[in-house]
Structure 1
């Protein structure tokens, strides 16, 4: 026992291991301090989401304070949106302050949230919290807003889904201004290769010439003559007793059981005798044998080209036509034909031997012209492609830029907009929506937005202007017409959104040579009347400024410094009016901010 006091004294004075104990204590403090940054960033991100949700809510609900909504209903809707936007079940949030003043149009909402900590809990701080509030006041401006939306093929998938959500939210915020003495209307311009004018197309781009009815097709004369022999020689010699054909007659050969390479073709007769004749230009074929049966019939016209009957058709020799809806002789359908001869009620078309096309069914078929001018156009338009071929494309209800007087908003009755003859009918399915305050009309149009085609961004800008132009007002229903530019207390604003390169402009309604899209077989041989895509876009943006239209632009996932971003920045009325959205959530935030900026409801805090 005498050693116990000594042991106790030595233990009391022993400093070995003190550092480890001190480090253990300090490590907890250091980890807590370092982790505090993470907890603080999380707090600020949560606060930002809560604030954004409350801002959107106060703008959306402000009009309801004059329509009998209760404070509890406001609180519940606001709180639900805040919780949804925060998106973290660990966070507790509530909206507990509601102040309304129907006379001034004031709505104030306030609340608070708390969230558990991850790191500072090590030093006893188990949760952090923050308050948030938002207030909206009724404004005094009337609004006309044109929303030009890129619905091209690159928008497919999640992009178009996010755009629909962002656009719908913007509509709700802006239409909330329709209370008291203020009005708000929105027009929608979906654009891709062109802009679909729908039922307004004729008033905007002029009438389309009606087709002529086809009532008869003939190509042969006389009776069919039996062939009893055909030699595999050059030229082929036909045996046919008392055939009656003369030299230079045209005949149509069919049904040969040998030398089949001359079947279903037209030939001129040469070396004709009573019982035989030769087929001019025919040759032998090494794999063919002589024939012992077949038939021939005399043709009405050279080359066995058919004669069409159409009363007072109005066409001239040399014109090109397109025929559709023929039954029986279906090889006439959907092809370019040139007229080689005409009478008042008939025409002969060249390059189309008709004998092998079946038996024509009377009174079927339509005949279309293939030209256009400043006052009217045809159902089809014939043009030479960049590749050198001649093709005909069919008109759509889409419209394109004017080829004359392009950089102004003259009424269409002065200068029609361009027609559209795209390859494969490439016209977006969604049509323009003139100014309206009807939410259902707007949201239905938004929900049906497609994602197809190329990007005529310059045309989207142009039509955002046209939808706000009083010069176009006579086209729309009376309640949907834009007010004059100088109307007091009226804001005209265009919102232009794109997700990529402007690559499409037109020549006579066809993709032009200087469009940066498609193949040379689908583009016109000429460059666009009004310049390449970005040059046109700048000119239209300049005209928007002259008209004192406030312009907001949104670039959705476009490259920094790209030509698309440069034109969006150029077109915005102010540098602050350009929004770069790097992802879907940023696009929604951009639309929210724009809606807030142009809305007659102003956030006051």
Structure 2
């Protein structure tokens, strides 16, 4: 009886339970929710992780490419540029934060790479289901580069006295800092400086490029320590002493960069009255030592007339492989056509070219018409065999720009004294093209011109 009663009660309970579906549904829903909700939130976590990964990768790729195409040549500068670009491009999902990011230059064979890393911390909707590590991505952009050999040819004539020279020195120093990199691997950047006035001071290289002087006095010739010449004006033949300055070459190699061993440069016997002396600042061959370059800029002084063609010639010699044996090993230019190498010249003047030479003395008939070469009694009666300074300058510039030399030429007509059509014409024709010719009129615009040249040179150092 007891078992039947118990069995009867159980059947009644089951019947009631079957009729009351609300409780069962609630229990089933609770069980289902407890199981499926974390799974659903986990799926949402996976979705947000995937979405953020894509956004982070896109932003980092764009920032790395931007940094690689910048003018930066140190990891610190690349990192600064890359961080700004990443911040500008990165889209974060709600609750996510940029946890870390870095950009660095890494040497890779003969090239450099910009290597970047970034990580984003995500909000956790299902924190107990799996580890929520930050989303991390990497990006690399190979940045093939170029070596740079640049000759900076600077006007040191008398018209540069005072504030123009101060402005030039400031701008030139900034150009050096911007162009000559602190990091010389895997690509180097070297600069040479050629101060010029009525001539160029060859310094300790003078005997090699001109020949050693013999003690004595020659008449209307070159080679001795003194020269007596027939003047353009007056009956008395002056006698001038030889100097460390040099003038233009003549003959078949007047307008090319054939070795000094093949064709020596011209002599200079400057006047004794103080006009057109040999300038004190000598040439500085190619170097990556910025301290040396800045020291050279500090020696610049303003005096004399303008033999711009001689400055141009020496700017070419500084970066010519044919002249490399003249200089120390570290200052020797590489061959034309060397892979990953840019050769360039920056030429600056504040006036028209007006000084040429004949047999070591300033030529009278060709230069006196410009009224800029000194006293007629200090000039030779004979004319320059190569023509006027403008013609010589143009021939040199044309040859430098032509293949296989392919020298990139920037010109700066610093017209602080007002317009000078002839000077502008000389430099406009010499420059690689109109975009490479600058016409500043004061110290501020001169500095801006040199900054623009530096930016362009740095772009040339990066191949895209």
Shorter-chain TM-score tier: 0.5 to 0.7
- Between the aligned partners of 1:595 and 1:576, the Cα distance in structure 2 is 14
Q: Could you tell me how far 1:180 is from its partner in structure 2?
A: 3.1
* Aligned equivalent of 1:63: 74
Count of residues in correspondence between the two structures: 336
Cα offset for 1:423?
Answer: 0.7
- The residue number in structure 2 matching 1:539 is 395
Change (3 A) 1:163 1:381: same
8 A contact 1:596–1:603 mirrored in 2 = no
Alignment match of 1:378 (pick from 224, 246, 258): 224
Residues 537-587 of structure 1: per-residue CA shift (max 9 Å, x gap): 111111111221110000101654611100110001111000111111111
Residues 40-65 of structure 1 deviation map (CA, whole Å, 9 limit, x = unaligned): xxxxxxxxxxxxxxx9xx85x74252
CA distance in 2, matches of 1:400, 1:382: 17
Query: Residue in 2 aligned with 1:549?
Result: 407
Distance 1:561 1:501, change over 3 A: closer
Supply the distance in 2 between the matched residues of 1:168 and 1:505 (Cα, whole angstroms). Answer: 29
Equivalent residue, structure 1, for 2:427: 568
Whole-angstrom CA distance in 1 between matches of 2:147 and 2:293: 18
Q: How far has the Cα of 1:603 moved from its partner? A: 9.4
Q: Which SS does the other structure have where 1:145 is aligned? A: strand
- Residue from 254, 257, 260 that aligns with 1:412: 260
Once the two structures are superposed, the pairs formed by residues 215-364 of structure 1 within 5 Å of their partners are none
Pick the structure with more helix per residue. Answer: 2
How far apart are the structure 2 equivalents of 1:597 and 1:527? 40
Secondary structure of residue in 2 paired with 1:599? helix
Match for residue 523 of structure 1?
379
Relative to total residues, which structure has the larger strand share, 1 or 2? Answer: 1
Contiguous gaps of at least 5 residues in structure 1: 1-54, 76-97, 109-135, 211-367
Distance 1:561 1:391, change over 3 A: closer
| TM-score, scaled to structure 2 | 0.67
Please name the residue that 2:270 is paired with.
422
Distance of 1:554 and 1:412 partners within structure 2? 28
The residue correspondences of 1:162-173 to structure 2 (distance < 5 A) are: 162-173=167-178
By how many angstroms is 1:475 displaced?
A: 0.8
Give 1:259's aligned residue: none
Give 1:509 shift.
1.6
User: Structure 1, residues 464-499: CA drift from partner, whole Å, max 9, x if none?
Assistant: 111111111111111211111121111000100000
SS in structure 1 of the partner of residue 238 of structure 2: strand
Q: Distance in 1 between matches of 2:461 and 2:342?
A: 14
Query: What is the CA RMSD across the aligned residues, in angstroms?
Result: 2.9
2:304 to 453, 467, 476: 453
Q: Does 1:194 align with 2:199?
A: yes
State how far apart, in whole Å, the 2-side matches of 1:495 and 1:107 are: 33
The match for 1:488 is 339
Describe how 1:10-49 pairs up with structure 2 within 5 A.
Answer: none
Secondary structure, aligned partner of 2:74? helix
Following superposition, the deviation at residue 453 of structure 1 comes to 1.0
Contact preservation (8 Å) 1:62, 1:106:
no
Q: Which runs of 4+ in 1 moved over 4 A?
A: 104-108, 136-139, 558-561, 600-604
Pair 1:174–1:138, CA change in 2 (3 A): farther
Distance 1:70 1:521, change over 3 A: same
Mapped to 2, the partners of 1:107 and 1:499 lie a distance apart of 45
Shift in Å at residue 102 of structure 1?
3.1
Unaligned runs of 5+ in 2: 1-66, 85-100, 107-111, 117-140
